[in-house]
Amino acid sequence: MAGGEEIRGLVFDLQRCCTHDGPGLRTTVFLKGCPLRCLWCDNPESQRAAPELMYFEERCSGCGSCLPRCPRGALERRNGKIGIDRSACDGCGECVRACAPGALEVVGERLGVREVVEAAARDLPFYRRSGGGVTLSGGEPSLQPEFASELLRECRARGIHTAVETAGCREWEALSRVVRSADLVLYDLKHMDGRRHEELTGAPNGLILENLRRIGRMGIPVLVRVPIVPGLTDSEENLRAAVEFCLEVDSLLGIEPLAYHPLGVPKYGRLGREYPLGDLPPPGEEHLRRIASEMERWGARVFRGYFSLPGSRSKG
């Protein structure tokens, strides 16, 4: 960062004291933009690589003070509330400043590396006590490789453990630039069948599988996370194929089955979108225990929930 303009990235959230994005207590930095469109995505606000307007209808008084503030004419009255023309809105935030009830929020802000690192460093004592650190998530961090890699390097320079959560659906040059600056990679493996993967996420899985092999050959510790979505990803055939593939990854630490949950569903409405999976229920605890047990029987080391991990690389 020295000698030039500070690198900035598009961030949509920064959450402290997280316990499920790597070992220990962590600060998770969510970057905006993703090449995939997973049907079960619980962060739909992460998908577009641009600021977006969220509308909390339940907070709206219908006062209309936001209407004249929109420079693009994207807002109108609809049934006593506010309607948004998403094709016209550019997320400038002028309407937000006029909305006293807080019914409008812009998701996505350009932040500098130094600003994010300083925010994360406030919890350095908690990281040291718990074995935690900073995790880059999203979205897909490798869509912003310059920002992501610099942020990770700055964290490691301060003795902060770093992790990257990635779906691996990026050209190797960009992905490797990010993961080589991480102490741990959390790798999302959605589905093993290429055709089915494309139906569920919008992209085939060939590049994803090859990139996982490549990361393994780099020697960076990898924890593979497999989403457990009832009826979509939880078949024995798919899960067994995932375990068998992962066991061939050189630096594999283990596999973490991640239970689908519908907690992100309200966000779709706030973004003017329809949730693709309707009222699909999450998997039950017994089902998850059975899957974990089967994965262990097939030879995998299985992690669930809050955990500590061995094998972190030294900082620097």
pLDDT at 314: 36
Intra-chain end-to-end CA distance of the chain, in Å: 16
Domains annotated for the chain, with CATH where assigned, are: 8-48+110-297 (3.20.20.70), 52-107 (3.30.70.20)
Rounded distance, CA 262 to CA 125, Å?
33
What is the overall mean pLDDT for the chain?
Answer: 94
pLDDT at 4: 64
* Contact present, 258 and 292 (Cβ < 8 Å): no
Rounded distance, CA 181 to CA 266, Å?
35
pLDDT at 304: 83
Render pLDDT for 160-214 as a digit per residue (tens, 0 to 9).
Answer: 999 999 999 999 999 999 999 999 999 999 999 999 999 999 999 999 999 999 9
- C-alpha distances (whole Å) from 145 to each of 8, 99, 206, 219, 306 are 11, 35, 21, 20, 28
pTM above 0.75, yes or no: yes
In which order are the strands placed within the sheet that holds 109-112? 109-112, 8-18, 26-31, 133-137, 161-166, 184-188, 222-228, 252-259
Per DSSP bridges, beta strands 104-107 and 52-55 are: antiparallel
Report which of residues 304 and 57 the model is more confident about: 57
pLDDT at 204: 97
Tokens of 235: 């078949």
pLDDT tier for residue 119 given thresholds of 50, 70 and 90:
very high
Rounded distance, CA 121 to CA 26, Å?
11
Render pLDDT for 287-316 as a digit per residue (tens, 0 to 9).
Answer: 999 999 999 999 999 998 755 655 444 333
